[in-house]
Chain A
Amino acid sequence: MSKPAISNTAGRRIDLDALSFRIVMTGIALLALVLLVAPTVVVIWVSFTSGYSLKFPPPGYSLRWYVELWNAWQLQFALMNSLKVAAWATGLSILLGVSASLGIARSPTLTARVLDSLFLSPLVLPALAFGLSSLMFFSMIGVPVSPLTLIIGHTVVSVPFVVRNTVASLAQMNPSLLEASASLGGGRWYGFRRVTLPLIRPGIMAGGFIAFMASFDNVPVSLFLRDAATDMLPIRMWQDLEGRLDVTVAALSGILIVATIALMLAMERVAGLSKRLT
């Protein structure tokens, strides 16, 4: 009150300060968001080209490359293989991963902590080194590479996602609910089926979804553990792109992007996917 002049200049200084801070932060954030989304938009845009190359902007627009996908049997074959392997790896990851999570999540023992780190370690180890070491292992024990070795390798790199999400869900669960169930006469299996499982189901689903995507998208493990007859989609697309920029790959990418977004929104609804990732 006594010194209005000073508070006035201070107010203006703070305004300039606030303004510059917001402009810089918002500016960089918007730039980053454009960078994040640009590649997706570009793929979908260019997949509708009528030309033979991935020239930008496209000379005209058509659905020809999407129609062309009907005849792209190599890509279809690789897609089916990738879907099958990812489905097996996800199923095994959920079965083994959820069981293991139940065992270690509430256990205070050192063994449980060590197992927790072990199950999560494929997340940070270079997958290529693991793929190579698996190939050495299988050739040493005389097992030829086959869809089976592929599924085993994919399960190892997918299972951490299931374990991480299931353990997190179990940690949030209130254990007195199980005591309540038991004191009301519910058996252990009943308590698991009617109390634990419904509470951790969103975590399992989110983990299973990410595990599926990780397997479907995996290149480093597939490179070493697939046999010549088992063409995997990411590897086929990668080789097509290294050879020539094939527009059919752009059309397939467009379909994959739309399918991924649809799955993502569905998972957000049933499992609160974004809350589980942060």
Chain B
Amino acid sequence: MAATLRDVTTYDLKLAAPLAAGFVLFFVTPLVILLALSFQTDPQGGHYGLSQYVNFLGDRFSLGVLGSTLWLGVKVTALTLLLGYPVAWLHQRSPGWARGVIMLFVLLPLLTSVVVRTFAWVVILGRQGIVNASLSWLGLIDTPLKLLYTEGGVVVALAQVQMPLMVLPIITALSRIDPNLADASSVLGAGHWRTFRKVILPLSLPGIVAGCLLTYAAAITAFITQSLIGGGQMLFMPMYIYQQASTLQNWPFAAAISIVFLVAVLVVVSIFNALGRLSRGYANA
């Protein structure tokens, strides 16, 4: 009896076989080849060793690129959290129609082409762009400020591009909080700031952690925005990999950088996942 019941409500695991086979062939195998190639000592092949990794880890320039990429992610994530949390909070306490408008505003960057979004920032931050035009119209500056091709420009543009990834999980987390808890807190005499700090913020931690994970991973791999807003002088990991692989045709070294970058991303993802488990335990306690 139990067996027949299970039969109608679940589907055969074999249904996953075609996609699983496709992933093993076209996703796992290429990554294994990438790993194998990263141990080749010279582009012509033949000898295997750790020389590509030694080259990367012993080179100040390469380590600098890795460091600045990881640090860029931290800055973007911090700014996105600072700006995105209030948006989720406002969405949560708005009437129905305003929620719809806020949601449209939040989803728009997520679904607009990344080239278009980035292109808009070039127009805004350029020498003849909106920021410079407004500042000189107000008489605050005589010569245009350099905003494009600076790290600050990259951070602001990435924060806008990735903000939906931060806002959406926080909205989910906020919607799960029992509103009675905030009421209880204020009845017991806590002010709004205190209630926010002691009740709302801790309970929304799972959403914050999920949002930070997605934002961070997207920010450090955002190839287009990094290269168009950052220009030629600023080099981050994705462009570094592309230059080595495409322009210089140095595949073993490109493979080694890719592996280093992949490992860095995976380490960050696991840290965030561990934090996420901790925060869920905390929010459910």
Contact = CB atoms under 8 A, between A and B. Distances in A.
Interface of A: 10, 13-14, 17-18, 20-22, 24-33, 35-40, 42-43, 46, 53-57, 96-97, 99-100, 102-107, 109, 111-112, 115, 118-119, 121-122, 124-130, 132-137, 140, 152-153, 155-156, 159, 163, 175-176, 178-179, 181-182, 188, 191, 213, 216-217, 219-220, 223-224, 234, 237-238, 241-242, 245, 249-250, 253, 256-257, 260-261, 263-264, 273-274, 277-278
A136 B9 contact: no
Given A13-B191, A25-B90, A28-B83, A103 B14 contact: yes
A167 B159 CA distance: 30
Interface stretch (B15-23, B46-54, B55-63, B276-284): B15-23
Contact of A55 (B8, B107, B128): B128
Contact of B246 (A53, A134, A223): A223
A106 B8 CA distance: 11
Q: How large is the interface on B (under 10, 10 to 19, 20 to 34, 35 or more residues)?
A: 35 or more
Interface string B91-135: 000000000001111111111111111111111101011100100
B192 interface: yes
Contact of B258 (A38, A105, A132): A132
Contacts of B17: 103
Nearest to B27: A156
3 tightest A-B contacts by CB? A39-B120, A103-B15, A103-B16
A97 B86 contact: no
Interface in B180-195: 186, 189, 191-193
B251 interface: yes
A100 B112 contact: no
Contacts of B117: 39-40
Nearest to A235: B115
B19 A99 contact: yes
A99 to B, nearest CB: 5
Given A20-B193, A133-B258, A137-B26, 18 more contacts: A28-B86, A29-B86, A43-B123, A53-B128, A96-B22, A106-B11, A111-B13, A115-B16, A118-B27, A126-B237, A134-B26, A134-B30, A159-B19, A175-B10, A178-B9, A237-B113, A257-B116, A264-B104
Contacts of B112: 40, 256-257, 260
B8 A124 contact: no
Contacts of A107: 10, 13
Given A25-B90, A242-B228, A256-B116, A102 B33 contact: no
Interface in B150-175: 156, 159-160, 163-164, 168-169, 171-172, 175
Contacts of B116: 43, 237, 253, 256-257
Given A26-B90, A133-B30, A136-B30, A46 B123 contact: yes
